[in-house]
Chain A
Amino acid sequence: MESLIGLLVAAPLLGAAVLLVGGRRLDRFGHWLATGLAALSFTFAAVLFFDMLGREGADRALSQHLYSWVPVADFQADIAFQLDQLSMTFVLLITSVGTLIHLYSIGYMEHDVRRRRFFAYLNLFLAAMLVLVLADNYLLLYVGWEGVGLASFLLIGFWQHKPSAATAAKKAFVVNRVGDIGLAIAIFLMFSTFGTFAFGPVLGSAEQASEGTLTAIGLMLLLAACGKSAQVPLQSWLGDAMEGPTPVSALIHAATMVTAGVYLVVRSGAIFDGAPDAQTVVVIVGAVTLLFGAIVGCAKDDIKKALAGSTMSQIGYMMLATGLGPIGYVFAIMHLVTHGFFKAGLFLGAGSVMHGMNDEVDMRRYGGLRKYMPVTFVTFGLGYLAIIGFPYLSGFFSKDEIIYAAFAKGGTEGWILGGVTLLGAALTAFYMTRIMLLTFFGEKRWQRDAEGNEPHPHESPKSMTIPMIVLAVGSVGAGFFFNLNHNFVDWLSPVVPTADGDSPISHGMVSVAATVLMLVGVGAAWLQYGRRPVPEVAPTGRWITRAARRDLLQDDFNHAAFVTPGNYLTRGLVYVDHKLVDGVVNGTAAMFGGLSGRLRKTQNGFARSYAASMFGGAAILIAVTLLMRAV
């Protein structure tokens, strides 16, 4: 059974390799091959899952050691996989959503001449993501970590002829690399502290390490998580990443890759448990991002960017939950899974809308689409209800648990965090209702596209609607199923530390408060966008709206703080290198040149002057010799 773990990764990796090397002759069936291999990977995952269910809690983890990878003295890195309940959860999410999105892309990318490459990259992404969650040591995790970054780079920049896409891809990769440094340094710290970086020994002996070391490791892991999960301060790439094709946004930038940071923090729980300061920072990052993403999401007119803001905000929820320690870990993962379903569904819905509207993304040019795209409307609507936490849908269970855990943190902190998460719930309801109203309700505000084509909204083909329906079912039912008999908590508790929080307010109170605030958010959105007609050109708005449209000035800040000084620095250094470092060399050369030019003048060719210098030299030599004698 263990050998299946390797095959799980190998299937999509093989697909990527075959599609990339195979060339044009695979164009006809390449997408089916890729989808088939993704489905195969999902089948393996399902087999492993049921096999796992057949065993008792503590014995469920499997491991597969493939080979010794980089052995240098004490530095022993192995290619080895570990499949425990936490990894299994991710594997199921990745392969299932991944397969659905492969299927969806067949329709979505039908007219793209480079479709084969697109599927190759998708397969590559699946393989890298599976490596990330299956690795049994941090170095292999790092491979998956950068591997998904690469896939993300390739897919964001898939339409490379658009300069904006190419720039966004580069930005995503570079910002992620800043985060990757964190992971790298964390591994260095682990190696110099524990002499290893395999999960088992590091997490097992984390208690023995000093708190300072653990805090340092924790903060570095958090930096990595911030990069990958688009948390403040490394959030700026996610909005631009929406330049990629929509299935990519759904799979990578909503459901799976961006949640890798949460996985990392939960996986390294033992380290954070010994470093309360690091945990506090995690909580702060989560809380800030939660609000940041929600505010940005409220102001964007681009449907994908609004959803991207929402993604940031929801991951902020998860990050906040992980920072709470054992009372939050499980619910972070639970929210991650339910979010994976409903956000992927929402993005696929957005893609379907764009597909029908000549790739228009501005929501102010949508309106009234519910009649033209009924399936999209219903599935999107269910995802919408799930994310805003409509009672008894997925988001309701997972988000309320996080709000409850935030209160359970205790003391003033608990109240602040609880307040922030509740506020976030209201904002979520607001921006999601706004998207819903602008897109599907109200009158038509359609416009011709750049080539003057009138949009003819139509329902998307089956290959696109089926994945949307499946995800909608997941959005509706997953939370209820997870919460039934504490299914999810019991499933994860053998590998993820859990604890019951002691909250000043009860579960029921939290649910009521969250529902009320949700209704407030929905109502506010309806007042602004439902009751009144929507202007086709966005009103100027107040300063906060303007700032939020500019992503709360994140790019302005980054430009002022890093890009511009960096440009000056490189230009200055090019000058210095040319004039100073090279100048010294060229100067030395010029000096010798000048000197020799002058010395050459003494060689005037007159025999008698040579003779004179000979006599002079001889005279000086004799004089010196005599003087030396005399002394």
Chain B
Amino acid sequence: MSPENYLHLSALLFTIGACGVLLRRNAIVVFMSIELMLNAANLALVTFSRMHGNLDGQIMAFFVMVVAAAEVVVGLAIIVMVYRSRHSASVDDASLMKL
């Protein structure tokens, strides 16, 4: 099987993730969509590693995983806090990022 198929899959996953981020309002779902995009990127990185025959891509994928894990910790904490204070996890309700 040609490694390019993995790339196609990765692109597909990334697009699904992006659409999820843009279209869904629930913060948890948006968050999951972001994870999906990160993992799509990981898949692409690993595939590139295979295609080029070195380990650079795999190392990068590890970094991404570490960052993603950290992000989940911080992000979920924020979402929980927001939910506690506003009784809603909708991203549109928290439109406070303007003057």
A contacts B directly (C-beta below 8 A): yes
**Chain B residues near A630 (CB-CB < 8 A):** none
Q: Is the CB of B94 within 8 A of A607?
A: yes
Q: How far is the CA of A615 from the CA of B19 in the complex (A)?
A: 10
Q: Is the CB of B96 within 8 A of A612?
A: no
Q: How far is the CA of A605 from the CA of B99 in the complex (A)?
A: 9
Q: Is the CB of A615 within 8 A of B95?
A: no
Q: Is the CB of B21 within 8 A of A611?
A: yes
Chain B residue with minimal CB distance to A615? Answer: B18
Q: How far is the CA of A608 from the CA of B91 in the complex (A)?
A: 8
Q: How far is the CA of A330 from the CA of B40 in the complex (A)?
A: 113
**Chain B residues near A607 (CB-CB < 8 A):** 30, 91, 94-95, 97
Q: Is the CB of B98 within 8 A of A605?
A: yes
Q: Is the CB of B91 within 8 A of A604?
A: no
Q: How far is the CA of A604 from the CA of B94 in the complex (A)?
A: 11
Q: Is the CB of B92 within 8 A of A608?
A: yes
Q: Is the CB of B99 within 8 A of A606?
A: no
Q: Does B70 contact A (CB under 8 A)?
A: no
Q: Is the CB of B95 within 8 A of A600?
A: no
Q: Does A603 contact B (CB under 8 A)?
A: yes
Q: Does B22 contact A (CB under 8 A)?
A: yes
Scan B78-99; emit 1 where CB is below 8 A from any A CB, else 0.
0000000000000110111111
Q: How far is the CA of A604 from the CA of B98 in the complex (A)?
A: 6
Q: How far is the CA of A154 from the CA of B18 in the complex (A)?
A: 87
On chain A, the number of residues with a Cβ less than 8 Å from chain B's Cβ atoms is 11
Distance in angstroms from B28 CB to nearest chain A CB is 14
Q: Is the CB of B92 within 8 A of A600?
A: no
A612 touching B91 in the complex, CB below 8 Å, given contacts A603-B98, A605-B96, A607-B97: no
**Chain B residues near A615 (CB-CB < 8 A):** 18, 22
Scan A601-631; emit 1 where CB is below 8 A from any B CB, else 0.
0011111101110010000000000000000
**Chain B residues near A604 (CB-CB < 8 A):** 95, 98
| Interface of chain B residues 50 through 91 with chain A (CB within 8 A) | 91
Q: Is the CB of B22 within 8 A of A606?
A: no
Q: Is the CB of B21 within 8 A of A606?
A: no
Q: Is the CB of A608 within 8 A of B99?
A: no
**Chain A residues near B97 (CB-CB < 8 A):** 603, 605, 607, 610
**Chain B residues near A605 (CB-CB < 8 A):** 95-98
Q: Is the CB of B98 within 8 A of A608?
A: no
Q: Is the CB of B92 within 8 A of A606?
A: yes
Q: How far is the CA of A606 from the CA of B30 in the complex (A)?
A: 13
- The count of A-to-B residue pairs whose CB atoms sit within 8 angstroms is 30
Q: How far is the CA of A607 from the CA of B24 in the complex (A)?
A: 11
Q: How far is the CA of A229 from the CA of B68 in the complex (A)?
A: 96
**Chain B residues near A608 (CB-CB < 8 A):** 21-22, 25, 30, 91-92
Q: How far is the CA of A610 from the CA of B99 in the complex (A)?
A: 15
Among A603, A607, A610, the most chain B Cβ lie within 10 Å of the Cβ of: A607
Q: How far is the CA of A477 from the CA of B61 in the complex (A)?
A: 123
Distance in angstroms from B89 CB to nearest chain A CB is 12
Distance in angstroms from B21 CB to nearest chain A CB is 5
Which of A606, A611, A612 is the one whose CB lies under 8 Å from B95?
A606
**Chain A residues near B98 (CB-CB < 8 A):** 603-605
Q: Is the CB of B99 within 8 A of A611?
A: no
Q: How far is the CA of A608 from the CA of B93 in the complex (A)?
A: 11
Q: How far is the CA of A178 from the CA of B49 in the complex (A)?
A: 90
Distance in angstroms from B93 CB to nearest chain A CB is 10
Chain B residue with minimal CB distance to A610? Answer: B97
**Chain A residues near B91 (CB-CB < 8 A):** 606-608
Chain B residue with minimal CB distance to A618? Answer: B18
Q: How far is the CA of A612 from the CA of B92 in the complex (A)?
A: 13
**Chain B residues near A606 (CB-CB < 8 A):** 91-92, 95
Which of B22, B25, B92, B94 is the one whose CB lies under 8 Å from A611?
B22
| Interface of chain A residues 18 through 49 with chain B (CB within 8 A) | none
Q: How far is the CA of A163 from the CA of B30 in the complex (A)?
A: 84
Q: How far is the CA of A608 from the CA of B22 in the complex (A)?
A: 6
**Chain A residues near B22 (CB-CB < 8 A):** 608, 611-612, 615
Q: Is the CB of B99 within 8 A of A603?
A: yes
**Chain A residues near B21 (CB-CB < 8 A):** 608, 611
Distance in angstroms from B33 CB to nearest chain A CB is 10
Q: Is the CB of A600 within 8 A of B99?
A: yes
Distance in angstroms from B14 CB to nearest chain A CB is 11
Q: How far is the CA of A283 from the CA of B34 in the complex (A)?
A: 101
Distance in angstroms from B22 CB to nearest chain A CB is 6
**Chain A residues near B30 (CB-CB < 8 A):** 607-608
Chain A residue with minimal CB distance to B98? Answer: A605
**Chain A residues near B92 (CB-CB < 8 A):** 606, 608
Among A603, A604, A611, A615, the most chain B Cβ lie within 10 Å of the Cβ of: A611
Chain A residue with minimal CB distance to B18? Answer: A615
Q: How far is the CA of A607 from the CA of B22 in the complex (A)?
A: 9
Q: How far is the CA of A170 from the CA of B95 in the complex (A)?
A: 69
Chain B residue with minimal CB distance to A602? Answer: B98
**Chain B residues near A611 (CB-CB < 8 A):** 21-22
Distance in angstroms from B56 CB to nearest chain A CB is 21
| Interface of chain B residues 10 through 36 with chain A (CB within 8 A) | 18, 21-22, 25, 30
Chain A residue with minimal CB distance to B24? Answer: A608
**Chain A residues near B18 (CB-CB < 8 A):** 615
**Chain A residues near B25 (CB-CB < 8 A):** 608
Chain B residue with minimal CB distance to A603? Answer: B98
**Chain B residues near A612 (CB-CB < 8 A):** 22
Distance in angstroms from A626 CB to nearest chain B CB is 14
Residues in B lying within 8 Å of A, measured CB to CB:
18, 21-22, 25, 30, 91-92, 94-99
Interface CB pairs A-B, < 8 A, 19:
A603-B98, A603-B99, A604-B95, A605-B98, A606-B91, A606-B95, A607-B91, A607-B94, A607-B97, A608-B21, A608-B22, A608-B25, A608-B30, A608-B91, A608-B92, A611-B21, A611-B22, A612-B22, A615-B22
| 7 extra A-B contacts, CB within 8 A, seeds A607-B94, A610-B97, A615-B22 | A605-B96, A605-B98, A606-B95, A607-B91, A608-B25, A608-B92, A615-B18
Q: Report, nearest first, the 9 A-B pairs whose CB atoms are least far apart.
A: A605-B95, A605-B98, A605-B97, A607-B91, A603-B98, A606-B95, A611-B21, A612-B22, A608-B22
